[in-house]
Structure 1
Amino acid sequence: MAGIGFELKKIYRKEGIARAVAGGIYSSVVTIGPTVVVIVTLLFLYLALNMMKVSFMTRELLSSTILYVFIFSIILTAPFNAVFSRYLADKFYMDEYANILPSFYTGILILGILGTGISIPVMLSLYFRGGIDLPFILAAYVFWMSSVLLFFSVTYLHATKDYKIIAIFFLVGMLVVVLTALVFRFVLRADRIHSILYGMAAGFLTIAVLEFSYIKRYFRTVSQNYTECLWYLVHHGKIWLTQLLYMLGLYVHNFIFWTTQQRLTVAQTYHSHQSYDMASCLAMFTNISTMILFTVVAETRFHEAYQDYMESIIGGTYKAIQKNKKIMFRTLSQQIGQVFGMQLAITSVIFLVLLIFGPYIGFSGMIMEIYPVLAVSYLGIFLLYGNLVYLYYFDDTKGTLLSALAYFAGTVLGTLVSKNLPVAFYGMGAFFGMLCGFTASYFRIRYLEKNFEAHIFCHYKIIDTMKSSQKGRIVYQKQA
């Protein structure tokens, strides 16, 4: 995220409304732009191909395939992305670029094996139990593996700091999706769901290939060390597990509702709870702007305060260290409150709009009964992610792991109870998990504030990060 911060600092260097708008647009494009482009493309295809003429279960087969591909590809890649991001940061800091491309190949190999292993039981179930034709299954597999490669590659694209290229690749990919779907439907006379799935497979494969080619061209210096990054997966296992628990926490309440009697089963393979899943989706997008707000505030003001503190440790006086520490934590507290306040206002407006106009666009009944609690829950869940990032700044992997574990465990236990409550309280499981995780992360930050010197000087070595001839020199290291 630091690279995003550098770009934002360039934008905000000059004050003014235009600069503020430009910064907001840039943050939006980087954080949620690709997601919005994909959603708009799918909506266009559903309308252009008149999917309402397709039977309900046939539509659900396509929708469930897309849903499962997106959810599980994100869950699979997110933990690896967190560790490989740490690996890339270290390689860039030490000016060691030769091992970056080999690590990319190793990551692709690992995820390729895991992705294929996960997909085989699903494909066999679709074919033998669901009676789904082989072309559909193969297209779904291409779509799945392309998504896995795509989401993993984004980490390396971020390392290049060329964020515009990500948006360009997604725009090109979505153009391929539309053209492929239209050709299969109106030229080759394929049915609607096959046409859309073929389009998604072709489009996401295009994005994955473009990303792969760009990364291969960018990191030209190559070694033969393909295993160094594996040490990071072992040594930074807490980071891997933290990200896994957080991502599972985002969806585990949905998974539990997929086991209830109200679930919908498609092709004897896919399970879903339509009302709860749609309410979750609405709640998530109601609060997605939290990520934009956090990106702006964390990567500008807090990053500067953090740098000032770390540089005062390297060569400053005790008074300077204490002063910069107070500024850093005051900035952190202000930004948590600032993001919460702004997002609360945004959430309230969207919530009110959906309550008034939701029934006119198909959001009514059970969906709108479940939605309010989930809307509040996701506000806290995204704020929890911000707290985890702050803890990562302080290299507190123990704190992030405990917070993520509290969030995941609270969500599981809460949802096991809330699924038996009245419909309006279905989302209380996610709400309880959010409270557990956010509370744990908040008090962990407060604990660090009171014991920061012990955390800094008793747990790891301090390295000169300033741009000087002494860069990389160990300034302090705990004695064994």
Structure 2
Amino acid sequence: MAGIGFELRHLLRKKTWFGLAQTYAYASVIGSGPWVFSIVGILLMGLLSASLVVPTSLITQFQTSVTYLVASSLIFTGLCQLAFTRFISDRLFEKREEMVLANLHGLLLLVLGSACMIAMVVCFTVLRGQGVLYRILMISGFGLLCGVWVLTVLLSGMQRYKAIAALFGGCYALIVLLSAGLRHFGLEGLLGSFVIGHFLLFAGMWTLVLQEFNPRQTLIAFDFLRPQWLYGSLIFTGLFYNLGIWADKLMFWFYENTSQVIIGGLRASLIYDIPVFLSYLSVIPGMAVFLVRIETDFVEYHSKFFNAVREGGTLEYIESMRDEMVYAVQTGLGEIAKIQSLAVLATFVAGPSLLRWLGISDLYLPLLKVQVIGAALQVGLMAVLNVFFYLDQRRIVLWLCLQLVVLNVLLTGVSLYLGAAFYGYGFALAMLLTMCTGLHLLNRELARLEYRTFMLQ
């Protein structure tokens, strides 16, 4: 994340309103990620298709198909994203940039190959009876999304923010426009536009990586699989984190009282999915603040602290940098809480009008409010986990993610048992309890940071 922090600090030094706006705009694009863009794109495609008299059933089938692609690809690539990020970070710290591109190609080969095989098995079982073109597009979409999630681990180290913003915005805008032109081909036309757009996004991201890391003689390498460079805790952390985020959605999809069959063996919960989609749009300002605060103030003092440790700084200076780190964390979390509270209040106020504009019943409003709170808590949890990653507390992060999975499953199960009035509370409470646990552990770790740094190495 050092590249992001460097660029954000450069923009903040302008000390102008335009520089501040640029800072938060870049942070919003990088921090929110492709998942928010995909939510906006899917919603716009649904609205545009409905206005062009495409059958509602086809729109529902398309949105359900894409939702499954996004969820499954995130969970699947969660196995490698964090571990590969750590591998790349360590190699860059060692000034061995020549290893980056070859190992990226090796990871892409493994991920895309296994993703296509898994998708083919699913298409011949869960989606048997569907058209050949539909199943081919689902296989292609799953593979491309997996590739996009893998490439994002390198984008954070690059400083081509204008190009990245233009790439994301342009590709998702193209998806929406293509859906209007291909709507006459029905479900395959809508899904085809999604696949084409993500192919261009994948190609563009790969091109940006090639420009940053020059290719060497070795085209493909699998050094990241060496035992000494493979962190098992990070493999399970990525898996548990994504499972924790999607556990309640999966349970609502496959609980008969809250879902229905949409296409093939794919089920969806229309009563739950729409508020979830809308709620994640509220995290954009919180994610921007998260990146600006954590990746500028905290990272700066974090670097000074550990540089002083390695280079023999005075104890007074080391303690001073530790205090500045703690203050930066407190300030950052406080600002995230403030901006997300405003986003929650804005959603509460504008929620009825937003639902009416989208042609959605006001009956969804209570669930939307709960989901917005849950999404806001998720931003706070992400900030806490990010600080733990900087402190290299992998075991704590693993246990927090495992706690999130267990709590989300248990509390969502309770909410399903209690009835519609309690839908969404399982996810929100799971996020709240996990974040509180994380804050307690973070306070403890920061208080004994010097001890851990000097005595436990």
**Alignment map for 1:97-112 (pairs within 5 Å):** 97-112=97-112
Using the TM superposition, give the Cα deviation of residue 183 of structure 1 relative to its aligned residue in structure 2, in angstroms: 5.3
TM-score of the pair, normalised by structure 2: 0.91
1:466 corresponding residue in structure 2? none
Instruction: Give unpaired runs (5+ residues) of structure 1.
Output: 461-480
Using the TM superposition, give the Cα deviation of residue 267 of structure 1 relative to its aligned residue in structure 2, in angstroms: 2.6
Are residues 1:194 and 2:188 paired? yes
TM-score of the pair, normalised by structure 1: 0.87
Check the 8 A contact 1:122/1:269 in 2, yes or no.
Answer: no
Using the TM superposition, give the Cα deviation of residue 172 of structure 1 relative to its aligned residue in structure 2, in angstroms: 4.6
Q: 1:397 aligns with which of 394, 398, 402?
A: 394
Using the TM superposition, give the Cα deviation of residue 49 of structure 1 relative to its aligned residue in structure 2, in angstroms: 4.5
Check the 8 A contact 1:418/1:429 in 2, yes or no.
Answer: yes
2:216 corresponding residue in structure 1? 221
1:90-111 CA-partner distances (Å, limit 9, x unpaired):
1212111222122112211221
2:335 corresponding residue in structure 1? 338
1:407 corresponding residue in structure 2? 404
Equivalent position amino acid for 1:349 in 2: A
1:247 corresponding residue in structure 2? 242
Greater RCO (CA < 8 Å, at least 6 residues apart): 2
SS at structure 2 position matched to 1:99: helix
Q: 1:150 aligns with which of 132, 140, 148?
A: 148
Equivalent position amino acid for 2:9 in 1: K
Using the TM superposition, give the Cα deviation of residue 223 of structure 1 relative to its aligned residue in structure 2, in angstroms: 3.3
Structure 2 distance, partners of 1:179, 1:268, is 27
SS at structure 2 position matched to 1:271: strand
SS at structure 1 position matched to 2:258: coil
> Against the structure 1 CA distance between its residues 324 and 107, is the aligned structure 2 distance closer, same or farther, given a 3 Å change threshold?
same
Check the 8 A contact 2:286/2:379 in 1, yes or no.
Answer: yes
Check the 8 A contact 1:83/1:232 in 2, yes or no.
Answer: no
> Against the structure 1 CA distance between its residues 181 and 415, is the aligned structure 2 distance closer, same or farther, given a 3 Å change threshold?
closer
Check the 8 A contact 2:87/2:229 in 1, yes or no.
Answer: no
Using the TM superposition, give the Cα deviation of residue 211 of structure 1 relative to its aligned residue in structure 2, in angstroms: 2.8
> Against the structure 1 CA distance between its residues 295 and 214, is the aligned structure 2 distance closer, same or farther, given a 3 Å change threshold?
closer
Are residues 1:304 and 2:289 paired? no
1:25 corresponding residue in structure 2? 25
Structure 2 distance, partners of 1:256, 1:324, is 45
> Against the structure 1 CA distance between its residues 417 and 341, is the aligned structure 2 distance closer, same or farther, given a 3 Å change threshold?
same
Using the TM superposition, give the Cα deviation of residue 344 of structure 1 relative to its aligned residue in structure 2, in angstroms: 0.8
Check the 8 A contact 1:302/1:332 in 2, yes or no.
Answer: yes
Are residues 1:290 and 2:286 paired? yes
Using the TM superposition, give the Cα deviation of residue 80 of structure 1 relative to its aligned residue in structure 2, in angstroms: 1.6
Check the 8 A contact 1:88/1:159 in 2, yes or no.
Answer: no
More moved, 206-215 vs 78-87: 206-215
1:160 corresponding residue in structure 2? 158
> Against the structure 1 CA distance between its residues 267 and 192, is the aligned structure 2 distance closer, same or farther, given a 3 Å change threshold?
closer
Using the TM superposition, give the Cα deviation of residue 159 of structure 1 relative to its aligned residue in structure 2, in angstroms: 2.9
SS at structure 1 position matched to 2:118: helix
Check the 8 A contact 1:33/1:167 in 2, yes or no.
Answer: no
Equivalent position amino acid for 2:316 in 1: K
Q: State the number of aligned residues.
A: 454
Q: 1:326 aligns with which of 312, 323, 327?
A: 323
Structure 1 distance, partners of 2:83, 2:159, is 18
Using the TM superposition, give the Cα deviation of residue 210 of structure 1 relative to its aligned residue in structure 2, in angstroms: 3.0
Using the TM superposition, give the Cα deviation of residue 138 of structure 1 relative to its aligned residue in structure 2, in angstroms: 0.7
**Alignment map for 1:113-132 (pairs within 5 Å):** 113-125=113-125, 127-128=127-128, 131-132=129-130
Structure 1 distance, partners of 2:456, 2:19, is 41
Check the 8 A contact 1:103/1:228 in 2, yes or no.
Answer: yes
Equivalent position amino acid for 2:191 in 1: L
Check the 8 A contact 1:83/1:233 in 2, yes or no.
Answer: no
> Against the structure 1 CA distance between its residues 378 and 44, is the aligned structure 2 distance closer, same or farther, given a 3 Å change threshold?
closer
Q: 2:171 aligns with which of 173, 183, 192?
A: 173
Instruction: Give unpaired runs (5+ residues) of structure 2.
Output: none
**Alignment map for 1:251-290 (pairs within 5 Å):** 251-260=246-255, 261-290=257-286
SS at structure 2 position matched to 1:32: helix
